[in-house]
Amino acid sequence: MTHQKLATRVTSIRVSPSVAAAQKVRDLKAQGREILNLTVGEPDFDTPDSIKAAGVQAIAEGDTKYTPVNGTDALRKAVQHDFSTRLGIDCALDRICVGSGAKQILFVAMMATVEAGTEVIVPAPYWVSYPDMVVANGGTPVIVPCGEDVGFKLTPEALEAAITDKTRWVILNSPSNPTGVAYTGDELRALAAVIRRHPQVLVMCDEIYDRIWYADFRTESILGVAPELAEQALVVNGVSKSYAMTGWRIGYAAGPKFLIDAINKLQSQMSSCPSSISQAAAAAALTGPQGSVNATVKVYRQRRDRAHELINQIPGLSCSLPDGAFYLYPSCAGVIGKTTPDGKRIESDLDFVLYLLEQAGVASVHGGAYGLEPYFRISTATSMEVIEAACQKIAEAVAGLR
């Protein structure tokens, strides 16, 4: 009965599949099962001490009140400096906003611009939340499949073909969750040229993993390589992943003034501002020494290399090498149609992932959740021991298929 009292914006969306997968792992562990968990979407490192100290200092100094809606000057200046020096984005302070996580900014940006009849182009595989954020705001996600043959990336041709006069956004995520692939500067420039031809289209670039980077080519942002998109591009980033600060909830964005003003206006009615303490810590993260980021990226790289090597040794599975982030997105096409020792046919990547959970005690997320099958996502935000043990168990489970 209660669901009849809920708005369609709630009943039409799903609980995030990665949150659901993490809950399943917790439930199984509570039942006493040992699970090797490869579903984790956050760093397994602790927030560096110097950043924690900045938060403690903010509390001690009474920096515990509302801040400006769009974030403290200190944090926005830190973001401005970071975007300018690292990515070549030149942006006035009033074009930068701060929110309680990148996720909140992405959602509020949609809320500010999407309504019934609005289309949002979402290249697949996509981060699980994008389509639901569109639907929650009454819009229509237009899913554009970007297969492994095109490196899991949106091509200018596919973008051009997907644009209609109802298109409001195209969402880019580089490096990507779930594949880890990143766009090169040239690829971004080619996409920017298409977007430029359609002034009604905005591009939302989610660059939350851009410091967790392994590729030989340099990290680029669409606004850095195509400054002519200043009135059409929203670049979203945050401290969650790079600085192991997921619980502090700070994200930020740079974009056109009309959009940043709209985001701020909505935020003024939603939450007033993000936590003052977390903003102080995030400013310290961006302006302080970057040694912790470099050290963690080194560890993530070792894990990526090892997981990539081990998965590719398993007959029936294959995996491309991620440019960044802490995920791998192996294909399981070679096991579809096979039969488990219990006589059940593996019809889909969901069947495969459930088989791995039951048979091998390995938790991962099926590709269907990210809109491109048959794949599964594994996270390397866990120890090398867990990664090696999990790959061994996956290999044994796959060997048991007939």
* Chain residues that interact with ligand PLP, rule: CB under 6 A: 41, 101-103, 127, 173, 177, 206, 208, 238, 240, 246, 251
Would you say 17 or 41 has its CB closer to ligand PLP? 41
- Residue 17 preceded by cis peptide, ω within 30: no
Give least dist CB 400 to ligand PLP, A.
32
Q: State the CB neighbour count (10 A cutoff) for residue 129.
A: 20
Give least dist CB 173 to ligand PLP, A.
5
Would you say 111 or 389 has its CB closer to ligand PLP? 111
Give least dist CB 338 to ligand PLP, A.
31
Would you say 102 or 229 has its CB closer to ligand PLP? 102
Residue 289, classified by CB atoms within 10 Å of its CB into exposed (0-12), middle (13-18) or buried (19+), is exposed
Would you say 101 or 322 has its CB closer to ligand PLP? 101
Q: Which residue is nearest to ligand PLP (CB)?
A: 101
Would you say 240 or 276 has its CB closer to ligand PLP? 240
Give least dist CB 248 to ligand PLP, A.
9
Give least dist CB 299 to ligand PLP, A.
19
Angle, to 10 degrees, between the axis of helix 102-113 and the axis of helix 129-136?
40
Would you say 37 or 359 has its CB closer to ligand PLP? 37
Give least dist CB 61 to ligand PLP, A.
25
Would you say 99 or 316 has its CB closer to ligand PLP? 99
Would you say 254 or 335 has its CB closer to ligand PLP? 254
Q: Which tokens go with 96?
A: 């930068």
Give least dist CB 16 to ligand PLP, A.
9
Sign of CA dihedral 343, 347, 351, 356: positive
Would you say 316 or 322 has its CB closer to ligand PLP? 322
Give least dist CB 395 to ligand PLP, A.
28
Give least dist CB 10 to ligand PLP, A.
20
